[in-house]
Amino acid sequence: MRLALLSALNAARSDRRAAVLVTDLDGGAARLVTAETLAGDPLEEAIRTALRTGRSGVVEGTRAFLTVQVPPARMVIIGAVHISQALVPMARMIGYDPVIVDPRTAFATPERFPGVTLLAQWPDEALPGLKVDRYTAFIALTHDPKIDDPALMHAFEKNCFYIGALGSRKTHARRIERLGANGAPPEALARIKAPVGLAIGAITPAEIAVSILAEVTQAWRQGIA
Amino acid sequence: MLSTDDDILGQAEAWAKAGKGVAVATVVETWGSAPRPVGSHLVIDEDGSFLGSVSGGCVEGEVVTEALDVIGTGQAKLLEFGVADETAWRAGLSCGGRIAVYVEKVG
> How many beta-carbon contacts under 8 Å exist across A and B?
58
d(CA A22, CA A69): 11
Parse chain A into domains and list their residue ranges.
3-69, 74-223
A123 near A155, Cβ under 8 Å? Answer: no
Just give the CATH number of A74-223.
Answer: 3.40.50.720
* Minimal CA separation from B23 to chain A, in Å: 9
d(CA A69, CA A195): 32
CB-based contact, A13 to chain B, within 8 Å:
yes
pLDDT of residue B95: 59
State pLDDT tens for residues A20-75. 999 999 988 899 999 889 999 999 999 988 887 788 999 999 999 999 998 778 89
d(CA A173, CA A51): 36
The answer on pLDDT for B86 being more than 80 is no
d(CA A167, CA A169): 7
Report the share of chain A in percent with pLDDT over 90: 81
Instruction: Tell me how far the alpha carbon of residue A49 is from its chain's centroid.
Output: 20
pLDDT of residue B91: 54
In order of A55, A58, A72, B52, B59, the CA distances from B35 in angstroms are 16, 18, 21, 13, 11
d(CA B37, CA A9): 19
Confidence of residue B94 (pLDDT cuts 50, 70, 90): low
Q: In this predicted structure, which of A54-63, A147-156, A216-225, B92-101 has the lowest mean pLDDT?
A: B92-101
Tell me if B38 and A23 make a contact (CB, 8 A cut-off). Answer: no
